[in-house]
Structure 1
Amino acid sequence: MKHSYLCPGHKEWLTSESDRLDYYWLSWLDASEFYLESGQIEQAIPYLGAAFELAESALSSYPDTQKAISRFMQSSFLLGIAYGQMGDTHCRDSLYRYTEFRLDQENDYKTRQQLFTCDHDQLFAEIQ
């Protein structure tokens, strides 16, 4: 599975503004939909891959966490379907394992972040 669809400079530029991120993520999904519907799966893969990578970057920077997670999952699902339709079950399975790992990692980070930013004194008082 190709894990990099965007160069670092473009990724940084795309994720620096949420409006820009939204625009390109949606544009790439639209383009991939066109190719998938016309049976040109190989042409859809770069668009799906770029959308997936952009959505992954948004997990840690996008203001709406639930939206970022939803987009990441949707991008992963569609890219996995495309790999499966091409007969590349290894890439599909690798992608899904990575997606699960990344979501677990993000959940752990968000949980730790919540623990470190909560008012521990108030929490302790509520427990007693």
Structure 2
Amino acid sequence: MSIRFLCDTHRQQLLRSKVVAETRWDEWMEAGREAYAERNWVSALRYLGCSFELSELMLGLERLPDAPSLDRYMLAGHYLAECFARCGDSHLQQHCLLAVHYRLLKTLQSPEGRGLSLQRNVEISLQMLERHYRAENRLDELSHCRRESLRLLQRCYH
């Protein structure tokens, strides 16, 4: 399942220029964080959702994602997940958290991705997942993901 916040026209416009896309991401994240801080969940969802989708689009343009692109994706995804939690939608919260985590692991599994310093990203992602699953009283469902993530980190960084 892919969550869509951007219309096709905006998506195409943003894909034409990395500089414009990065500028829009910054603007939307700032607006989303402000709305989140003001507990304006509907507005926060719109801005954070657009930021998340845009960061995903930008990752898709890169043969090998770099650390700043992955950081943008992770930050937008985690903010969006928290916003979904505030709106009472734990299913979409989980969706965002897992999307971020699996993207990090997929990058780390690639030969080129092993050169990136993603250990802290994966650890933070696991913490966010653990917090979600603990709140849902489903922590046992996370054990396999945690074990495999830590195994991959061990293989890549030790």
Which TM bucket (shorter chain)?
A: 0.7 to 0.9
Match of 1:118 in 2: none
The yes-or-no answer on 1:58 pairing with 2:58 is: yes
Cα deviation, 1:3-36, whole Å, max 9, x if unaligned, reads 0011233212112211101110011011112211
Q: Does the CA-based 8 Å contact 1:45-1:82 persist in structure 2?
A: yes
**Does the 8 Å contact 2:59/2:65 carry over to 1?**
no
* TM-score under structure 1 length normalisation: 0.75
Name the SS of the counterpart of 1:5 in structure 2.
coil
What root-mean-square deviation, in Å, do the aligned CA atoms of Structure 1 and Structure 2 show?
2.5
Task: Name 1:32's counterpart in structure 2.
Answer: 32
What 5-or-longer segments of structure 1 have no aligned partner? 115-128
Aligned with 1:60: secondary structure? helix
**Pairs aligned (count):** 113
Preserved CA contact (<8 Å) 1:59 1:106: no
Distance 1:38 1:19, change over 3 A: same
Instruction: Look at both structures and tell me which one has the larger radius of gyration over its CA atoms.
Output: 1
Question: What is the CA–CA distance in structure 2 between the aligned matches of 1:64 and 1:105, rounded to whole Å?
Answer: 11
Please state how far the C-alpha of 1:101 moved relative to its aligned partner: 2.4
Q: Distance in 1 between matches of 2:97 and 2:13?
A: 27
> Match of 1:83, as an amino acid?
F
1:78 is displaced (CA, Å) by 0.4
Which residue does 1:92 correspond to in 2? 93
Give the distance between the partners of 1:6 and 1:36, measured in 2 at CA.
Answer: 19
What amino acid does structure 2 have at the position aligned with 1:89?
A: S
Distance 1:89-1:60 versus aligned 2 partners, 3 A rule: same
Report 1:1-128 matches (<5 A). Answer: 3-62=3-62, 65-108=66-109, 110-111=110-111
Q: CA deviation at 1:113?
A: 9.1
Q: Do the aligned partners of 2:32 and 2:44 also contact (CA within 8 Å) in 1?
A: yes
Give the unaligned 5+ runs of structure 2: 115-158
Which amino acid in 2 is paired with 1:38? Answer: E
Q: 1:113 to 1:32 in 2, by over 3 A?
A: closer
- Does 1 or 2 have the higher relative contact order (CA < 8 Å, sep 6+)? 1
- 1:73 is displaced (CA, Å) by 0.3
Percent identity over paired residues: 22
